[in-house]
Structures are given as structure tokens and as C-alpha cells.
Amino acid sequence: MKKLTDIGELGIIKRFQQRFPVKSPRVVMGIGDDTAILKGEKGGYELFTTDILIEEVHFRRSSTAPYLLGRKSLAVNISDIAAMGGEPQYFLLSLGAPPKTTLDYLDQLMEGMLYEASRWGVSLIGGDTSSSPERLIINIALWGRVKKKEVLTRSGAGVGDSIFVSGKLGSSAMGLKLLQRGYGLQGEELSSPKGKGKPPEEPHIRECLASHLSPEPRVELGKAIASHHVASSMIDISDGLSRDLMNICRESRTGAQLLKNRIPLSEAVLHLAAEQGEDAHQFALHGGEDYELLFTVPSDRLRKMEKLLEKGLPTPVTMIGSITRQEQGLTMVDQEGNCQPLLPGGYEHFVPHKI
């Protein structure tokens, strides 16, 4: 008998998609993108998304401050709305907690959510609570909105489009590796592995841990890209650059070519990877949870994109490749000019992982 590990996360999603066909004329986009899209009032669209965080799957309490966990649980949902060019509005919270969880822990968790909600003007309007035998479970469902003419999906990329990404990549994946090595961040306090003193590279370690534990949703950037009508497709990088670019290619029925030397990496990732004798690009390509925006721009909109860059964007963006024909697949050109197939890595549920 087949198990979930035999078909993976994508296979599971497809099974639900096949058995639950969309019947309502209000549904513009169902399963298969960062959010669902429904027809709203006055010609606008409503956006719905949900994400779940499970202890020992997505986080460990021993290395994650409850305040930061509260922020992240809402931020990852807000990032989905940002990827559609939308604005977050309301959320529902479902919380499963072991009965022995302290009230102080719960209060700090709420403070983190409240901070993130206040930043983006999002209101909590309901939810559910339940006891959980051992592990903390946080599920958030978020509602947002976007103008009909500004909504962006994964399926609009075309051959010849340029590929852009915001910010710098790889810090979150490096932060996860540091957590696995025994580092932690509790508020402003950096904890080191047992038996080790204060590390000389503390600023780099702190930066990567913060990137993983408290991601920054690019709401203002997403709205700027959408309102200026420069992009043909967009997604947020939650599962790694290679896998999320593959998601755009699959939905758009295209291929893509990345330029390795154009992929933006933070100084912290470059420093720590070199120290460990590793390729910093692997953290950017296959790490995940950067929550930066990955988007494509058609050639006839590049001049408009250049003008937008000249005016300044809320977050810097970098051109890292181009969209190609579907039969060319996903490829990457290295520093020597050699073009090789790029196999998608990144995070996939129902495949064994360490956190």
C-alpha cells in the first residue's frame, strides 16, 4: 500500500485538487498558488491563504523564543498575500497546545503575533483552541485583498521574461543550520552550543538566526510591483529559489535559466559558508524560508522596471536569469559560462528532514 512519502507534498495536493473541483463562479483561482482568489466587491479580488507550524517539524521550542514564533507564524501568511500583490486584512488563529504550556509562554506568543499584526494593520477576528498531547500547533488563515488589474499569480511567465528576486538569499537556511548546531536566539540573547564561548562571528550568526526565526514579508514591495504593472508572475520564496522557480515554470509551462554569479548572497552567508568549507549558493538555491519575492518581467516592460528601480523600491531587487522554453527545463550558468541542468532542491514535506 502506497504511503504519503511515495507521492510527496505535490502529489497529495493534486489528489485533493482532483477530488474537489471548483464549482463556484466566484472562484478565480483555487488550489495551486500562494493564495486562493475570489471575486470581491467593486471589481476587486479577495485573497485567502493558510499556513501551519508544528513543533518538531517547523520549529523547536528549545531554540525559538515564543515572541519570535508568534511573529513568524503570522509573517509567513502575510508573505503569501504579498506574493499576489495584495494587502493583508484579517486572520483566524487555531492553536493546539499541551496543557502544561505556561501562561507566560502563551502571552509572549501572543505579543509576537500582535506586533506583526499591528505592523500590517491586520485584525484577529476568531479561531479555535484545543489541547495537544505533546506538541504546539499553530495554524493561521489570512484574508487579504487586491485590485483585479493588479493581482499576480505563478502562471503568467513567458519565454524571454527576465527573472528578478528581492533582497539577499540564503540567510534563513544558514540560520537553520546554526540552530541544528546548537545556536539559539532568545530575544536579544544569543546562545551558543554547550562548551563554546562567545563566537567571534557573532554578528553573522545573529543575522542568520534572525532571518530564519523572524522573516520579513515584502508587502510594500509586492504592492509596488503589482501597482506599476511590471511583472508577469510572482511567488514568495518559502521552499528555496530552485523549487519556487520550478513552481513558476510548472504553472507557466516554461523553463528557466539562472545566472549563478547574479544570485544575491548576504555577507553573513558568504562568511559562514566559507568558514565551513561550503558553497554559499547552495543555501540560496535550495535552503528555503527566505520569503523574498521572485518575479518575472517581460521584455516590453523592462524600461518601466528600470524607471521603477531609479525611483527606488522598498527592497532592492536583482535580475538573476531569464524564462526559457519548457523543453529546456531548469538550468544554471556558472561563473565559467558552463550551462548545466539545475535539479530543484529546497524543502519538501513528507520527506525526512532535520530541524
pLDDT tens string 193-202: 875 666 667 8
The answer to whether the beta carbons of residues 238 and 291 sit under 8 Å apart is yes
- Could you give the residue range(s) of every CATH 3.90.650.10 domain in the chain? 162-341
Q: Give tens-digit pLDDT for 155-173.
A: 999 999 999 999 999 999 9
Phi then psi for 107, rounded to 5 degrees? -65, -40
Which CATH superfamily is 4-150 part of?
PurM-like, N-terminal domain (3.30.1330.10)
> Residue 308 carries which DSSP code?
H
Q: Is the pTM of this model over 0.75?
A: yes
Selected from 1.10.287.610, 3.40.190.10, 1.10.287.1080, 3.90.650.10, the CATH number assigned to the domain covering 162-341 reads: 3.90.650.10
- Cell digits of residue 81: 498575500
Give dist(CA 145, CA 39) in Å, integer.
10
> Residue 64 carries which DSSP code?
B
Q: How many CA atoms lie within 13 A of 163 on its CB side?
A: 28
pLDDT-above-90 percentage for the chain: 76
- pLDDT value of position 43: 80
Q: Judging by beta carbons within 10 Å of its beta carbon (0-12, 13-18, 19+), is residue 189 exposed, middle or buried? A: exposed
Give dist(CA 263, CA 165) in Å, integer.
8
- pLDDT value of position 240: 93
The answer to whether the beta carbons of residues 4 and 12 sit under 8 Å apart is yes
What does DSSP say about strands 330-333 and 255-259: parallel, antiparallel, or unpaired? parallel
- Could you give the residue range(s) of every CATH 3.30.1330.10 domain in the chain? 4-150
Give dist(CA 38, CA 239) in Å, integer.
25
Lowest mean pLDDT segment, chosen from 56-70, 95-109, 309-323: 56-70
Would the CA dihedral through 173, 175, 179, 182 be positive or negative?
A: positive
Q: What residues pair up with 141 in beta bridges, in sequence order? A: 50, 92
Averaged over 230-241, what is the pLDDT?
A: 96
DSSP per residue over 273-293, as a string? HHHTT--HHHHHHH------E
